[in-house]
Amino acid sequence: MKRIFQFLTVFFLSIQIFSVSQIYGQTNASINGFVRSSNGEAIPGATITFKNESTGFIDGVITNDVGFYVIKNIALGGPYTITAKNVGSSTEKRTGYTISIGENLKVDFKLSENTTLLNEVVIKAQDDVFSKFSPTGTAKRLGVQELKMLPASNRSFQDLASLSPMTGVSSPTNPNIGIGGNRESSTGVSLDGMNQRFMMNGGLLPIFTVSIEAVKEYEVSTNNYDVLQGRQGGGAINVITKSGTNQLTGSAFLYNRSQGLTSSTDYLGRTIKDFSINQYGFSLGGPLIKDKLHYFVAFDSEDRSQPFSVLNVTDLITEKAESISKVNLDKFLNILSTKYGLQDPSTQTGAFSIKPASRTYFGRIDWQINAHNKLTLRSNYSNQNSDFSTYASPDNAAVRESYGSHDITLFSTTLSLRSQISSKINNELKFQYLKAQRDFIPYNTLPRGFVNIASTLSDGITNVSRTFQFGGNRIAPEKQGEQQLQIVENMYLQAGKFNFTFGTDNLITFTHTLNSNEQGGLFQFASLDDLNKLKPSAYTRLVPLAPENGLAPFLNQTAFDVSAYAQMEYNLNPKMNLQAGLRWDATIFSSKPAYNALVDKLLGKRTDVVASDYTNIQPRIQFTYDLKGDQSSVFQIGGGAFSANIVHWAQLSNILQSGVNLANVVYPSNALPTPDYPAYRADINKVPGVPVGGTIPPAYVNLVGNNFRAPITYKVNASFKQFFNRMFYVGANIYYANTMHNYRYQDLNLRDQPNFRLENEGGRGVFAPVEKVAVANPASPQVITYPINYADVTKNPELSRVLELNGDASLWQKGVSFEAGIVFPKGAILSASFTINKTEDDNSYNCCIARTTYSSGNIFDDPRDLKGNQGAANSDFRNKIVVYGITPKWKGFQLGFKYVGISGNPWTPVIFGDITGDGSSLTINNNKRAFIFDPSTINSNPNSTTLEKALATNLTKLINNPDNTAADYLKSKAGQMAIRNELYNPFWHNVDINLSFTIDNQLIKSVGKHRIILQAQVFNFMNLLNKDAGKQMVVSGGNQQLFRALGLDPDAKKQGRNIYGYQVNATFGQLVPANVTNTYQVQLGARYEF
């Protein structure tokens, strides 16, 4: 691979050296218009020149046969001077234009026959306001003023993505963004037009991608049908960085949040300690050679100390939040200390601090080589490390030893050349090298231990159960390394009445990663008593057959994402524009998994097949009608196909899980090893692997199916924008999208049909023979996580689970958004939007390892049944309100604020326990939709068993519990199967504000061009006003469990009825804060600018 990488590096650099082009950020901005004579006739061949007065950059085009001109991807900023001239006509010059990201500025000229006349027009900021607002729904754009004044808690552009009407809700530890309810991995992210996604998981790394100090403008694009928009489904995030100008400018800043500036307690009443955030940095830009060579550099640093609770149980409120009594938590820690070798148990729970340190460096040089060529070099480096990490987090509520640390690094450098080859041809050539490394380091490499603990809380509520974890970490150690080479070539050609775009965008990704998933081993215990007795209910482990340092070797992979596209743009008349294009994308993985002869023999499937798709042809069309010809009233309709990236983890899983690298050890229930954690802590090689003298167990296999395709989204929208004078505007957008070929895994070795059905649960199928299913003990019922052994549901006992990757899942999205705003002079603005959205799918698998596809959609019985499992997507939101604004400056004071209100994510009542057999050996036990039993039906049955009567009694109590937010749902669905994702978490509101006071030459003339800006920001402002406000309340995963499986009911079995006994979860439907420490925070800071 190293030789391939070296060759490609030399090859791409050679192209750069010998090409006649220039590096430029893909700004999606253009200037266009018509040039006519004084009597209104078109003037073909007129010369249009554009000069950026701040940098000296000059470009030019000529008008086509109908007098139309256009220049695309022009550099942002300004002021621009645009000059039109023609032989035998006057010259007209217009100055003062500034260009924003995504803007299509329309500038028409009317030239007289007086050849000596120079007509000069100076444009004011408000004069070109129409073009800065795209038709509603196309994109949300933020410029320099918004980025400076709108509060951003993490100083990251991701913080402001929520201002788009189309973005959903992400967890606090998730840096990725879903647009319009689509999968997060279908969101494109670019920096100056070049990819910034970590291809392994299809999203951003959880650090600063780039300092917000270096961001000039920012756009969330949703319905843009330009062929340059690629490798996305729901939409894309485009970031354009700052560049230097002829004027020396700089800034330095310091912001602080401390314990005295935030709430003293979290949402559960626990004291917040050791809290601080310090953000500091600088920027500097200017000319090295005026009008010729410019630079811009920025440094951004952040040191955090954030409180983090680990099973911090102190009273009834925290008992309910953690679903465990203080008595049982102490007992849990005591057992771990005395029998499992846990050192210092008092340090394993309580209030801790997470202290990530982040550093980001940015540099950019722009070189105006000559009048026709401009070269740009941009480099960006980010790093974050933390000794205690929420990213290297356990699977369940856990003691501290099950966590870990992280170290994450991102580096990218881009070289771009923009050239005017002739008066009718402009060209862009861009090359990027990106290197990313994400390491998760565990505190230990012990086997994980899962314990189901049932508690009676201090208020007397019984049967409050939850799974708790100790020992190791499933995903760590993990070392994910990626290198990318990207080359983009775009040519813009004018031919007659048409303007054409031709291009190609190609990305090569080299992956070198260590994945230890499930290789440490897993003991599961049914209760605290069993934990104390060293009596596990299950033990599983993926054992490396040829280990390196105890783990499977590093995985190496090379992937190619290639594309080609062409687009035509034609003006039907001065008010109507038609854009039509065609894009082709292909993904090819070149690294083959190992061949498994047994899989081929038994299933007729080859494991040495790579994921690839060459079929993504994407037609696109967009029609724009400028009703008045001045962009004040614009109707736009468009449609097209968009192919999204394939998450690279899918192919890596196939390489790792070919069935010849790892042994899938599942010990039988009658031969489970006795856990000896003190011995494992002393020598990790003593962890049980393949039984001594035993044969290699049936393999767990991942492979690529014949129906694999990259996801492709077909979308259409119609939007309208109307300005009233140059201040007020309104707009509306209606949209529909259908994503096909969403990838997901399905088990080829699961029996084709259930072995028997649960008639009392709507005929739910069970894939194991009834005599093989664990039986409950009515006298002393215990939760049984896996009542079915995987070997009892397989078609071929020689194999374990065989998960095949196919592209047969779908997603449907529709909605409407409304927007209104006021544009004030001098950068002040008020914007508001309201969105009604609905997104459905039949599987919400996004990333990464194959088995998680089974936890991505709550099923009836058969995970292969897509139609039966259709419902609201996990990423769906139904309504969203966004209001943000920046006030005019008054005596140095200025206020920026943003409000986001959004409906919560959907959820489903589920059963804890793999009652059908599809999830055993996959560690999936929480993906079956619950059947809502009717207590009156059970009570009216004279043959009801002890377990049934207990269920009816406890279910009635649950329905009458005022803390159960789903009580009405249980009543309305009595006697029915729960529908997937039919319930929603509550609507959530958040307000952030930023108040600034600027000391500049308007207040004190002697300060000249120097400015000092004092800022006070409040994040979660409503919580400052009311301690109960600003909370994002959710029904947690544990509280979505309506029932917990106890095994088949033996008394009903004697009656000839095959039914499960269930324990009712007393905390079902209860709300808890999504992030208990997300209380208000006040930040004070100062900026110096010149």
Using DSSP's 3-state secondary structure scheme, residue 72 falls into strand
Q: How far apart (Å, rounded) are the C-alpha atoms in residues 923 and 540?
A: 9
Using DSSP's 3-state secondary structure scheme, residue 979 falls into coil
Q: Do 853 and 803 form a contact (C-beta atoms < 8 A)?
A: yes
Q: How far apart (Å, rounded) are the C-alpha atoms in residues 908 and 1037?
A: 10
- Paired with 118 in beta bridges are 91
* Residue owning tokens 């840096």: 175
* 443 φψ region: left (φ > 0), alpha (ψ -120 to 50), beta (else): alpha
Quote the tokens at residue 296: 């811009």
Pair type for strands 576-589 and 498-515: unpaired
* 274 φψ region: left (φ > 0), alpha (ψ -120 to 50), beta (else): left
Q: Do 908 and 982 form a contact (C-beta atoms < 8 A)?
A: yes
Pair type for strands 30-37 and 104-106: parallel
C-alpha angle with apex 547: 925 to 668, nearest 5 degrees?
A: 40
One-character DSSP codes across 182-202:
--GGGEEEEETTEE--BTTTT
User: In CATH terms, is domain 2-131 a member of 2.60.40.1120?
Assistant: yes
Query: What one-character DSSP code corresponds to residue 629?
Result: S
* Residue owning tokens 């009825």: 1057
pTM of the entire predicted model: 0.90
Give the closest residue to 237 by CA, choosing from 47, 430, 26: 26
Q: Do 624 and 635 form a contact (C-beta atoms < 8 A)?
A: yes
CA atoms within 13 Å, Cβ hemisphere of 579: 18
* Residue owning tokens 């991701």: 158
The CA-to-CA distance between both ends of the chain, in Å, stands at 48
Fill in the amino acid letter for 570. Answer: Y
H/E stretch holding 680 = helix 677-682
Q: How far apart (Å, rounded) are the C-alpha atoms in residues 134 and 731?
A: 10
With a CB cutoff of 8 Å and minimum separation 6, the contacts of 540 are 518, 521, 522, 664, 665, 666, 667, 921, 923
**In angstroms, how far apart are the furthest CA atoms of the chain?**
107
Q: How far apart (Å, rounded) are the C-alpha atoms in residues 27 and 71?
A: 12
One-character DSSP codes across 1028-1077:
TSS--EEE-TGGGEEEEEEEE-HHHHHTT---EEEEE-TTTT-EEESSTT
Give the closest residue to 175 by CA, choosing from 240, 241, 237: 237
C-alpha angle with apex 454: 448 to 457, nearest 5 degrees?
A: 125
Judged on CB neighbours under 10 Å (0-12, 13-18, 19+), 999 is middle
Pair type for strands 373-389 and 357-370: antiparallel
pLDDT of residue 13: 39
Give the closest residue to 267 by CA, choosing from 1073, 1081, 1080, 1082: 1073
Quote the tokens at residue 795: 């078609």
Cβ neighbour number for residue 132 with a 10 Å cutoff: 19
Fill in the amino acid letter for 643. Answer: S
pLDDT of residue 174: 63
- Paired with 690 in beta bridges are none
Quote the tokens at residue 1010: 């120097």
Q: Do 998 and 1027 form a contact (C-beta atoms < 8 A)?
A: no
Instruction: Enumerate the domain spans of the chain.
Output: 2-131
Strands (E), 904-1024: 906-907, 910-912, 928-929, 931-932, 976-977, 983-984, 988-999, 1011-1019
pLDDT of residue 14: 38
Cβ neighbour number for residue 829 with a 10 Å cutoff: 20
With a CB cutoff of 8 Å and minimum separation 6, the contacts of 950 are none
Question: Alpha helices, DSSP H only, in 493-645?
Answer: 528-532, 597-603
Residue 940 C-alpha from the chain's centroid = 49
Q: Do 934 and 948 form a contact (C-beta atoms < 8 A)?
A: no
- Paired with 872 in beta bridges are 840
Quote the tokens at residue 305: 């100390």
- Paired with 710 in beta bridges are none
pLDDT of residue 172: 54
One-character DSSP codes across 322-377:
HTS-HHHHHHHHHHHHHHS--S-GGGSSEEEEE--EEEEEEEEEEEEEETTEEEEE
Q: How far apart (Å, rounded) are the C-alpha atoms in residues 936 and 955?
A: 10
pLDDT of residue 9: 43
Q: How far apart (Å, rounded) are the C-alpha atoms in residues 132 and 1042?
A: 51
Q: Do 1040 and 858 form a contact (C-beta atoms < 8 A)?
A: no
Q: How far apart (Å, rounded) are the C-alpha atoms in residues 999 and 1015?
A: 12
Rounded mean pLDDT for each run of 10 residues along the chain, 1090 residues in total: 44 37 57 90 91 88 90 85 88 86 86 73 60 66 88 85 84 70 84 90 77 90 92 90 95 96 90 92 96 96 93 92 94 97 93 93 96 94 92 89 95 95 91 96 94 91 89 91 97 91 97 91 94 94 86 92 96 93 95 94 94 94 93 94 89 90 86 95 91 80 91 95 90 95 92 96 96 94 90 92 93 95 87 95 86 84 91 92 95 96 94 91 86 96 96 96 96 96 95 96 88 96 93 89 96 95 94 90 96
Report in angstroms the alpha-carbon separations of 222 from 102, 108, 188, 433: 12, 29, 10, 27
Q: How far apart (Å, rounded) are the C-alpha atoms in residues 417 and 24?
A: 6
Give the closest residue to 753 by CA, choosing from 862, 866, 842, 863: 862
Fill in the amino acid letter for 243. Answer: S
* Residue owning tokens 């080359």: 487
